[in-house]
Structure 1
Amino acid sequence: MRRALGVFTLLWLFSSPLHAACTVAMANASFGSLSSFTVRGTEQQTSANLVVTCDTILNLLTNDTVSMNVLSATVTSGTRPAMKRTDNTTLPDVVPVRVCGTSSCSNTTETAVGQTYSWSGNTLLGLLTSKSYTLPIYFRTVSGQSVTAGPYQVNVTLNISYSVCPTGLLGICLGTPQTGTVPVTTQLTMNVSTDCITISAPDVNFGSAPLVSNFPSVSQSVAITCTKGSTYTVGINNGVNAGGGTVRKMVNGSNSMSYDIYKGSTSTRWGPSGTERWASGAASSVSSDGTVNTYNYTARMLSGQNTPPAGTYTDTLVVDVAF
Structure 2
Amino acid sequence: SITLNYTGATVTAASRATLKRTDNATITDVIPTRLCGASGCTGTSEVQIARSYTWSGSTLLGLLGSRQYNIPLYFRTVAGQNVSAGPYQVTLNFSVNYNVCQVGAVGLCLTPQTGTAVTSITLNMNVTNDCSAMTTPNINFNSAPLVQNFPTISQSIAVTCTKGSAYTIGINNGLNALNNVRRMASGNNRMSYEIYKEATANRWGVSGTERWSSGASSQVSTDGLLRTYNYTARILPNQTTPPAGNYSDTLVVDVAF
Which band: TM-score by shorter chain? Answer: 0.7 to 0.9
What secondary structure does 1:160 align onto? Answer: strand
Please name the residue that 1:229 is paired with. 164
5+ long unaligned stretches in structure 1 = 1-64
Task: Supply the distance in 1 between the matched residues of 2:192 and 2:227 (Cα, whole angstroms).
Answer: 28
Aligned to 1:124: 60
Provide the rounded CA distance (Å) in 1 between the counterparts of 2:113 and 2:186. 88
Report the residue type matching 2:126 in the other structure: N
| Distance of aligned partners of 1:132 and 1:250 in 2 relative to their CA distance in 1, 3 Å threshold | closer
Label 1:311 to 1:125 Cα distance change in 2 as closer, same or farther (>3 A). Answer: closer
Q: 1:317 aligns with which of 239, 251, 255?
A: 251
**What RMSD in Å do the two structures reach over aligned CA positions?**
3.1
Give the partner amino acid of 2:138.
D
Count of residue pairs brought into register by the alignment: 257
Unaligned runs of 5+ in 2: none
Does 1:154 find its partner at 2:90? yes
SS of the equivalent of 1:190 reads: strand
Question: Which residue number corresponds to residue 205 of structure 2?
Answer: 271
- Corresponding residue number in structure 2 for 1:78: 14
Match of 1:137 in 2: 73
Compared with structure 1, are the counterparts of its residues 317 and 119 closer, same or farther at alpha carbon in structure 2 (3 Å cutoff)?
A: closer
Q: Is 2:192 aligned against 1:248? A: no
Q: For the pair shown, which has the larger CA radius of gyration, 1 or 2?
A: 1
What is the one-letter code of the residue matched to 1:268? N
**CA positional deviation for 1:154:** 1.1
Q: Deviations over 1:45-65 (max 9, x none)?
A: xxxxxxxxxxxxxxxxxxxx3
Residue type at the aligned position of 2:8: S
| TM-score in terms of structure 2 length | 0.82
- TM-superposed CA distance for 1:296, in Å, is 1.1
Aligned in 2, Cα 1:99/1:213: closer, same or farther, shift over 3 Å? same
What amino acid is the match of 1:239? G
Alpha-carbon spacing, 1:170–1:321, altered in 2? closer, same or farther (3 Å): same
Q: Larger helix proportion, structure 1 or 2?
A: 1
| Alpha-carbon shift at residue 129 of structure 1 (Å) | 5.2
Paired with 2:68 and 2:156, the residues of 1 have a C-alpha distance of 63
Please report how far the alpha carbon of residue 297 of structure 1 lies from its aligned counterpart in structure 2 after TM superposition. 0.5
Name the SS of the counterpart of 1:113 in structure 2. Answer: coil
Identity percentage of aligned residues: 58
Aligned-partner residue type, residue 322 of structure 1: A
So what's the TM-score if we normalise by structure 1? 0.67
SS at match of 2:3: strand
Describe the superposition over 1:48-103 as per-residue Cα deviations: whole angstroms up to 9, x where unpaired: xxxxxxxxxxxxxxxxx332111111222422212223223433433322212223
State the shift of 1:170 in Å: 6.2
CA deviation string 1:237-259 (max 9, x = no partner): 2232223x112233445554432
Distance in 1, matches of 2:250 and 2:68, equals: 67
- The partner residue of 1:108 within 25, 44, 57 is 44
2:123 maps to 1:188 = yes
